Structure 1
């Protein structure tokens, strides 16, 4: 920020060339953590509220004693969670500083 102030960079350029690249690793780390929590909460809310969704499917199949479908749905929940985490992991590596 001191260098951009010394070079009299306009605020918009400073935001996109200095502040955002410096904050991007922290922003993506927060998004990665919050995505995992959001995925957990969505599935739990679907179990409680019902109607549609994978959480409702798990709860409905559990009540119908269809363990095979329950295990498959839990596996799919895990696969989607891992995929989302991997996507944010790759994005985090792309914006991280190279030493």
Structure 2
């Protein structure tokens, strides 16, 4: 998992960490002060995306289109920002509309 032992990114929100971590020396979850150690600890032990998150990934992928995507290196940051924002908005909309898998 690339989110582990990455001292530059918060394990919970993926923004810049503030140099603090939870876990063991071989399995550290670095975090920002906004997320804090409790949320980082929960993120550290998450295994897989749940059904709502997986469905949001699939919907965002569908929004990106069915054709192969070629992104110039200079456009990649904007694409990542779009994908992260769309993921969060898609999950929120899905849950607001009663799309929870239960």
Instruction: Using structure 1 for the length normalisation, give the TM-score.
Output: 0.28
Larger helix percent: 1
Instruction: Select the structure that is richer in strand.
Output: 2
Structure number with larger C-alpha Rg? 1
TM-score with structure 2 setting the length = 0.28
